[in-house]
């Protein structure tokens, strides 16, 4: 008995949808830094910079996407490769900006955004140079973060310093890289706080 035309069309549509699902590649896995753990110790004294405006980090365009990159230093250190099925939840520039703001706020500093800036409040600018997982061998890698911090008051540069941190990855994959980069970012946050604590801001 011939199949009714409507039923035949339904069968074809179902087969097309199932075929499309079967042909899709693996579902991407998404990573971020995880929750920010409390600081190891409470601040011993009032922060040297009680109120601070922190601008969102700037950096190369490849850090403004959700792709996760790595380098094979043992093969071609000049080539940056993206993971095929692993992504950041949020572009690294945003992840790093938020983690720095969180760590600075945890230290007791009142953190404001650029839209809340007022005259006389110091402004911290961050320029990221590198944020990647580097493989020294096929089984050993580390997360590397490098940035330049500049502190301004008004249009006057108070100080500028470059920070660089690396941390070993627990596994030779994207998950290990994400954990290593989170640890390196936290280490840089601690370095930045220590630097801010050494600055003597001139009075307006």
Confidence at residue 24, expressed as pLDDT on a 0 to 100 scale: 67
Task: Could you list the beta-strand ranges (E) of 34-172.
Answer: 51-54, 67-72, 76-88, 110-112, 123-135, 141-153, 156-168
13-22, 85-94, 115-124: which range is least confident on average?
A: 13-22
**Model-level pTM?**
0.82
* Phi-psi category of residue 190: left, alpha or beta, with phi > 0 → left and psi -120 to 50 → alpha: alpha
Residue 7 has pLDDT above 50, yes or no: no
At 133-181, the pLDDT tens digits run 999 999 999 999 999 999 998 889 999 999 999 999 999 999 999 999 9
Contact yes or no for 43/108 (Cβ under 8 A): yes
Q: Which of 152, 160, 158, 157 is closest to 121 using CA atoms?
A: 152
Closest CA to 131 of 122, 142, 144: 144
Domains of the chain: 45-198 (3.40.50.10610)
Least confident of 11-15, 50-54, 78-82, 165-169: 11-15
The one-character DSSP state at 68 is: E
Could you read off the pLDDT of 123-136 as tens digits, one per residue? 999 999 999 999 99
Average pLDDT across the chain, whole number? 85
């Amino acid at each position: 008995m011939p199949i009714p035309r409507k039923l035949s069309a339904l069968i074809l549509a179902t087969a097309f949808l199932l075929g499309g699902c079967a042909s899709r590649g693996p579902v991407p896995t998404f990573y971020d830094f995880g929750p920010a753990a409390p600081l190891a110790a409470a601040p011993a004294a009032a922060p040297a910079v009680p109120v601070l405006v922190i601008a969102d980090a700037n950096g190369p365009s490849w850090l403004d996407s959700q792709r996760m990159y790595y380098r094979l230093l043992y093969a071609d250190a000049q080539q940056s490769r993206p993971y095929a099925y692993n992504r950041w939840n949020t572009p690294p520039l945003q992840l790093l900006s938020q983690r720095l703001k969180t760590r600075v706020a945890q230290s007791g500093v009142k953190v404001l955004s650029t839209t809340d800036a007022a005259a006389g409040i110091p402004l911290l600018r961050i320029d990221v140079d590198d944020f990647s997982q580097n493989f020294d061998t096929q089984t050993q890698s580390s997360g590397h973060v490098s940035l330049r911090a500049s502190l301004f008051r008004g249009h006057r540069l108070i100080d500028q310093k470059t920070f660089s941190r690396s941390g070993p990855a627990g596994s030779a994959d994207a998950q290990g890289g994400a954990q290593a980069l989170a640890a390196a970012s936290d280490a840089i946050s601690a370095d930045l706080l220590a630097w801010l604590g050494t600055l003597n801001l001139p009075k307006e």
